[in-house]
Structure 1
């Protein structure tokens, strides 16, 4: 485990200044573990009694404020009893009796009045609270905070920890995310911090702990590949290492090929963390952000969509809020695989039939098969696809995945505003001298919509740049025609050769 300070240096400074603030992070980022570690470190220094406790169970009682207060105080008590603290630091037992709607704040005050140290609280999973229960608890915290300078005993610092940022607390409790009135329970927060992902150096440090404990090393190429695939997402970083060292049982030095295999196994297994993310794909506010990213169109920016972008960012599905993109390559692949499930079930071709006698993959034949598939199923699949604007990209990548994934790899790149989706087929095979080789085939996917000019020139230039980056001499540009005046479905699927601006000969498929 990594120490908390490097991942969140601002937190300690705010606590030392007796501030109340928000700490938010996507699920499975190590937030709870970090809070407990930070609380232990602060307490061990001798001036602070810092305690982290969960609010999650209080969310089950909805708007029943009294029940929520009781559950929170029981959770706080349990955390204190398990802390191993001396008696003088512990809260009173039993808690003093007070009227409903004041119990929580009065209990905290009673504890602070007897504790010889400054009390710091981390309210983990605060966003589990709902409606009036959330408003009431935060109002009690605000009231205590505001009269604390007059000598009222109350926690010197409170950290609200959850999945969402402060604005979504307003939404979750029925408020307007853009308004903070003078009596709002949300107006005492000094800052809102987001727990970041691991850096490449932090991944190396984390994996080195495994090396020190077992003697098994991670090659630099493996660490670099983990960072490339995960962009430091903590659950993915740990899950890949666990998959390699425990489930795959790799012995000896761990290389980038082991990381690649572990990635495929994780995605196929659809671990709980990945499932919990993809389950949100059809939430309206998530779809409004993710669909244009997959389609390569612009995310319309207005007040409503800004909140949606922030929400999806807080979920951990995207990075960046001005030019959002999917958070990491693993999520990018998982999202398209999930969205393409319906298409994959329609593909009847045998993947092995596309393997040439020399072991290479027959991409031209696959594209011919796709034309047949598109003519027969494309119209219906587009109508059925919930992500209607991105339907073409989803369908083709699903078709490719169904036929490539048995022996090769499919890498996808897409982002809002690019008006394209890049696909790289990687197919390992054995050369004539027994050497292991990798066939690479690049494709650029574009869509022509009503009122738009012919995207072929832009597509050829974009494909050129993609091929430059991959150091490939040729590729395929696929253009989907979604104009009302497009040819009848049975006539779609023409192939032609074209020359890119740099002089490459490439294939253009119009469907």
Structure 2
């Protein structure tokens, strides 16, 4: 693993300033590891005792704040007992007997009164606290924080660690989202730290530890491909390497090719991290964010900023606009999960689309999709929860079912683009046995009610995409969602068109 402290240097500075602040990041990014390491270093230096306490156990209490306090204090005592500290640094043998709703704050006060050192407390998994329990704990922390200037014994520094950003805790602790609200200890937006993903250099540093231990090297192409696929998401970075070295048992130097295979295996296995991420897709506030991204639409609801913040805190989308899915692996997982219903209705044999020379028969796939669309499209659109993105999801599911057996699908989509770009990569052998890669590019557009024919715009956009891929031809698929569209049984016209730069394009209207 990477040294935790350099990933979050600001935390140490804020603790030395006796500040209360929030550390947030998506799951599986290394928050707990960093807190544990920081706690060990602070305690070893002799000026403070620093303890990481998980709030996970208190989740079962729900709104019962008295039960939540008991569970949280049990976790605190257990963590302290496991610390190996001398008795004089430990919390008292029994907690003060006070009214429920005050017990957690009173316990911290009593510990800080007795302890000869500054107490630094890290509350990990703070998101586990819910409803009244969260309000109660945060209100007690705010009350103790505000009394400290008058000599009140309370933790010198405190960190709330979880998924969510600052404003959620400020509201729950009795304040408002306004950054200038002085009623909350979490009132300065600069004190909400987000743990970032790995950089490409950090991935190389991490993988070099494997090389030092085993002698097995990762090529620069392999590291670059891992960064491209994961955008540095720590769990994905580690999981790809584990898949390659332990499960696939690749020997010798690791190149970009096994990275590609490991990505497919990871997605197919739907590991816990990916599965829990996918389970969020049908939450209303996640759906309100993800549907325009998949459909290429725009955000028109001014109240959607809270939903966007929530999706960013989950790690689903990029931090900076325009909103995009956070990395290519998540992009793949999202479309596969959303397209699962469609896949159950596809009975074509993927092997039948392989030509005698080993290449992939894309024209035939498009013809088969027309047949499938005429038969199932109307019903599948009505059943698809992401109604605005239904066409894109259905075609993606069809492609995935027939391409992913022997090839790869790369998909690009983002809110505001009005399109979804697809690259099919199909490995095959040339006449002399050399390894070749067939590449076919497609762009998906939707003709919506009241809009103009999207073909001219689609040809310009596809032209740029083909130029970036250095390809001379491509496919433009236009889904007609207008009430005046032809009957379903008559859809599926093929035509030829030329892009502004002279590239030949097959246009399919369905």
TM-score of the aligned structures, taking structure 2 as reference length: 0.97
2:232 maps to which residue? 232
1:264 maps to which residue? 264
> 1 CA distance for matches of 2:454 and 2:370?
19
Q: Is the counterpart of residue 447 in structure 1 residue 446 in structure 2?
A: yes
Q: Is the counterpart of residue 96 in structure 1 residue 96 in structure 2?
A: yes
> 2 CA distance for matches of 1:8 and 1:209?
21
- Map Cα deviations across residues 165-187 of structure 1 (whole Å, 9 max, x no partner): 13334677899756986655755
Query: How big is the shift at 1:479?
Result: 0.6
Query: How big is the shift at 1:86?
Result: 2.1
1:197 maps to which residue? 197
Change over 3 Å in CA distance of 1:188–1:364 after alignment to 2: closer
Change over 3 Å in CA distance of 1:276–1:395 after alignment to 2: same
Tell whether the 8 Å contact from 1:142 to 1:188 is kept in structure 2 after alignment: no
1:208 maps to which residue? 208
> 1 CA distance for matches of 2:130 and 2:101?
15
2:347 maps to which residue? 348
Tell whether the 8 Å contact from 1:309 to 1:321 is kept in structure 2 after alignment: no
Tell whether the 8 Å contact from 1:313 to 1:321 is kept in structure 2 after alignment: no
Query: How big is the shift at 1:190?
Result: 6.4
Q: Is the counterpart of residue 61 in structure 1 residue 66 in structure 2?
A: no
Change over 3 Å in CA distance of 1:378–1:299 after alignment to 2: same
Tell whether the 8 Å contact from 1:219 to 1:254 is kept in structure 2 after alignment: yes
- Map Cα deviations across residues 394-431 of structure 1 (whole Å, 9 max, x no partner): 01111011111111111111000000000000000000
Report matched runs for 1:128-207 at 5 Å: 128-169=128-169, 187=187, 191-207=191-207
Q: Which runs of 5 or more structure 2 residues have no equivalent in the other structure?
A: none
Moved more, 264-273 or 188-197: 188-197
Query: How big is the shift at 1:300?
Result: 2.5
Change over 3 Å in CA distance of 1:248–1:387 after alignment to 2: same
Tell whether the 8 Å contact from 2:421 to 2:441 is kept in structure 1 after alignment: yes
2:72 maps to which residue? 72
TM-score of the aligned structures, taking structure 1 as reference length: 0.96
| Residue correspondences, number | 510
2:241 maps to which residue? 241
Report matched runs for 1:109-508 at 5 Å: 109-169=109-169, 187=187, 191-302=191-302, 304-508=303-507
3-state secondary structure, aligned to 1:343: helix
Tell whether the 8 Å contact from 1:310 to 1:321 is kept in structure 2 after alignment: no
3-state secondary structure, aligned to 2:217: coil
- Map Cα deviations across residues 380-401 of structure 1 (whole Å, 9 max, x no partner): 1111110000001001111011
> 2 CA distance for matches of 1:177 and 1:149?
24
> 1 CA distance for matches of 2:188 and 2:77?
25
Tell whether the 8 Å contact from 1:168 to 1:311 is kept in structure 2 after alignment: no
Root-mean-square deviation (Å)? 1.8
> 2 CA distance for matches of 1:5 and 1:180?
30
2:10 maps to which residue? 10
